[in-house]
Amino acid sequence: MQDRLKRFKKGKPVHPVLHRTIRPFREFMRVEASGGIIVVVCLIIALLWVNLPFGATYDMFWGMHLSLSIGSLTIDEPLGFWVNDLLMAIFFFLIGLEIKRELLIGWLNSFEQAILPVVAAIGAMIVPALIYSLFNPPGSPGSVGWAIPMATDIAICLGILNLFGDKIPTATKVFLTTLAIVDDLAGIMVIAIFYSHGLHIEYLVLSALLVVALIILNRLGIRKLVPYLLIGLTLWTAMLFGGIHPTLAGVLLAVSIPATTKIDYDEFKEINDQLQTRLIKIVDCEPEDVDTRLFMNTTNTLEQACRDVEAPLQRTEIILTPWVAFLIVPLFVLANAGVRLEINIIELFSQPVTLGIIFGLVLGKPIGVLSSIWLIEKISRIRVSDACNRDLLVGVAFLTGIGFTISLFISGLSFAPGILLEAAKTGILIAAVISGVLAVFALRSAISKIESEKKKELAMIISAHPT
- 280-330 confidence digits (pLDDT tens): 766 666 666 566 777 777 777 777 777 777 788 888 888 888 888 888 988
Pick the CATH number of 2-33+52-197+320-342+407-419+437-448 from 3.40.50.970, 1.20.1530.10, 3.10.180.10, 3.90.110.10: 1.20.1530.10
pTM for the full model? 0.74
Query: What gap in Å lies between CA 224 and CA 210, rounded to an integer?
Result: 17
CA distances from 198 to 66, 195, 243, 246 (A): 23, 10, 5, 13
Other beta carbons within 10 angstroms of residue 35's beta carbon come to 23
pLDDT value at residue 6: 42
Which of 18-27, 193-202, 434-443: highest mean pLDDT?
434-443
pLDDT value at residue 3: 45
Buried b (16+ CB within 10 A) or exposed e, 45-54: ebbebbeeee
Please determine, for residue 332, whether its predicted confidence score (pLDDT) is greater than 80: yes
Please determine, for residue 406, whether its predicted confidence score (pLDDT) is greater than 70: yes
Query: Helix H segments across 85-200?
Result: 88-104, 111-135, 154-162, 170-194
pLDDT value at residue 149: 93
pLDDT value at residue 210: 95
- Pick 284 or 234 by higher pLDDT: 234
Please determine, for residue 84, whether its predicted confidence score (pLDDT) is greater than 80: yes
pLDDT value at residue 297: 77
- Pick 462 or 27 by higher pLDDT: 462
Nearest to 181 by CA among 260, 88, 94, 247: 94
pLDDT value at residue 353: 93
- Pick 5 or 347 by higher pLDDT: 347
CA distances from 434 to 300, 428, 430 (A): 55, 10, 6
Query: What gap in Å lies between CA 167 and CA 444, rounded to an integer?
Result: 10
- 163-178 confidence digits (pLDDT tens): 777 788 877 877 888 8
Nearest to 187 by CA among 223, 146, 239, 228: 146
Query: What gap in Å lies between CA 9 and CA 335, rounded to an integer?
Result: 47
Query: What gap in Å lies between CA 24 and CA 106, rounded to an integer?
Result: 8
Average pLDDT, the chain: 81
- 345-386 confidence digits (pLDDT tens): 666 677 899 999 999 999 999 999 999 999 988 888 877 776
- Pick 270 or 223 by higher pLDDT: 223
Other beta carbons within 10 angstroms of residue 396's beta carbon come to 28
* CA 293 to chain centroid: 46
Give just the sign of the alpha carbon dihedral 223, 226, 228, 229.
positive
Please determine, for residue 22, whether its predicted confidence score (pLDDT) is greater than 60: no
Cβ 425 vs Cβ 339: under 8 Å: yes
- 411-452 confidence digits (pLDDT tens): 988 898 888 888 898 899 899 999 999 999 999 998 888 878
- Pick 454 or 74 by higher pLDDT: 74
- Pick 87 or 349 by higher pLDDT: 87
Cβ 351 vs Cβ 423: under 8 Å: yes
Query: What gap in Å lies between CA 45 and CA 53, rounded to an integer?
Result: 14
Give just the sign of the alpha carbon dihedral 235, 241, 247, 248.
negative
- 263-284 confidence digits (pLDDT tens): 777 777 777 777 777 777 666 6
Cβ 407 vs Cβ 154: under 8 Å: no
Nearest to 423 by CA among 338, 360, 355: 355
Query: What gap in Å lies between CA 98 and CA 348, rounded to an integer?
Result: 37
Looking at 67-76, 136-145, 285-294, 369-378, which range is the least confident one? 285-294
pLDDT value at residue 195: 77
pLDDT value at residue 466: 62
Q: Where are the domains of the chain?
A: 2-33+52-197+320-342+407-419+437-448, 265-305
pLDDT value at residue 206: 93
Looking at 74-78, 120-124, 251-255, 395-399, which range is the least confident one? 74-78
pLDDT value at residue 344: 63
Looking at 19-28, 119-128, 199-208, 378-387, which range is the least confident one? 19-28
- Pick 401 or 284 by higher pLDDT: 401
Looking at 95-109, 115-129, 318-332, 372-386, which range is the least confident one? 95-109
